[in-house]
Amino acid sequence: MLAQAAGPSGKIDCIAPANPGGGWDFTCRSVGQVLSETGAIDGSVQTTNMPGASGGVAFSHVVTKRAGQNDVIVSASTSTTTRLAQHQFPGLNADMVNWAGTVGADYGVIAVSKDSPYQDLESLLDAMEEKPSSVSFAGGSASGGWDHLKVLMMARADGIEPLNKIKYLPFDGGGEAMTQVVGGHIDAFSGDASETLGFVESGDLRVLAVLADGRLPGALSEFPTAKEQGVDVEGINWRGFYLPPKLSDEDVAWWEETLHKVYESPEWKEVMSKNGLIPFDRSGEAFKAYVHQQIADIEEISKEVGLIQ
């Protein structure tokens, strides 16, 4: 009798833990298309939108109802680790799923309007060192969410205290937040690089710092990193997938390898360049270790700023 080959047969279910139109939905649909186009899978990929509790409904569903199923993948990002770090998924933790791999990332940016008195990151931080509440930030995530945390991580790296005096105003998405900054109502924007492209190209927004290890390619290459300016902070919104629990080692390895092939494919490179995604490659044990480290870091800063006990 031949041993069963690893990997699923037939239709794949990609769960996007939110409504259509967001980052998780985009990750499922675009990766699903490349999986089919490249012949990495036999069947097709269907996207199942499962909103609720900022990813908690999907996480719980996969842990309790989909254990052992090798034909399910779930779209995830730094928002997922932020929720896990802040204990927003009651009774659940990162070890209850298999972390498969990433397919790229979006890096955080701090930006101001073209007329802003802050010409560089140093002048912005100088003002905050003197009075933390003197600079207001707008972002597209809730208070305590990823856009807010990027500001707090930058301030913490610069030694600004107390962090809970920093003004952050949440909006329904990055577009609305940038409009407030461009209109001069709020001092600075905290978001992801890909969101800012339109406003940067029109000259309405000026990026003071990219929260990446090195300069970004393309349109954003002229903007300095925070690290170049002496502030050791990185804000990576990775995009990737986790798998249900109780899979065989062979199935987990199959998915790790298959998603990595997607990442390496010319088809995916095109999707990345069109959507402003940046190379970010972690899979298997390295990805799992990265997830745990990120959760620990986010938990620490969330405690420090009083977001969690």
Total number of domains constituting the chain: 2
What confidence tens digit (pLDDT) does each residue in 53-104 have? Answer: 888 999 999 999 999 999 999 999 998 999 899 998 999 999 999 999 999 9
Q: At 4, is the pLDDT very low, low, confident or very high (cuts 50, 70, 90)?
A: low
Q: What contacts 131, CB < 8 A, 6 or more positions away?
A: none
Asked if residue 133 and residue 41 are part of one domain, the reply reads no
What confidence tens digit (pLDDT) does each residue in 9-25 have? Answer: 889 999 998 887 778 88
Mean pLDDT of the 177-203 span: 91
Residue 174, classified by CB atoms within 10 Å of its CB into exposed (0-12), middle (13-18) or buried (19+), is buried
The whole-number pLDDT of residue 217 equals 77
Asked if residue 193 and residue 118 are part of one domain, the reply reads yes
Give the CATH number of the domain where residue 146 resides. Answer: 3.40.190.10
Domain encompassing residue 189: 109-229
In the predicted structure, residue 276 carries a pLDDT above the cut 70: yes
Asked if residue 220 and residue 252 are part of one domain, the reply reads no
Is position 260 within any domain? yes
Last residue of one domain, picked from the residues 229, 248, 276: 229
- The string over 16-47, giving b where at least 16 C-beta atoms fall within 10 Å of a residue's C-beta and e elsewhere, is bbbeeebbbbbbbbbbbbbbeebebbeeebeb
Last residue of one domain, picked from the residues 169, 194, 229: 229
The whole-number pLDDT of residue 220 equals 80
Mean pLDDT of the 251-261 span: 96
Is position 3 within any domain? no
Q: At 2, is the pLDDT very low, low, confident or very high (cuts 50, 70, 90)?
A: very low
Is position 20 within any domain? yes
In the predicted structure, residue 5 carries a pLDDT above the cut 70: no
What confidence tens digit (pLDDT) does each residue in 214-255 have? Answer: 888 777 888 999 999 999 999 989 999 999 999 999 999 999
Asked if residue 114 and residue 102 are part of one domain, the reply reads no
The whole-number pLDDT of residue 309 equals 83
Is position 69 within any domain? yes
What confidence tens digit (pLDDT) does each residue in 118-146 have? Answer: 999 999 999 999 999 999 999 887 788 88
In the predicted structure, residue 3 carries a pLDDT above the cut 70: no
Largest CA distance in the chain: 74
Asked if residue 37 and residue 16 are part of one domain, the reply reads yes
Supply the mean pLDDT for the chain. Answer: 91
Mean pLDDT of the 161-185 span: 90
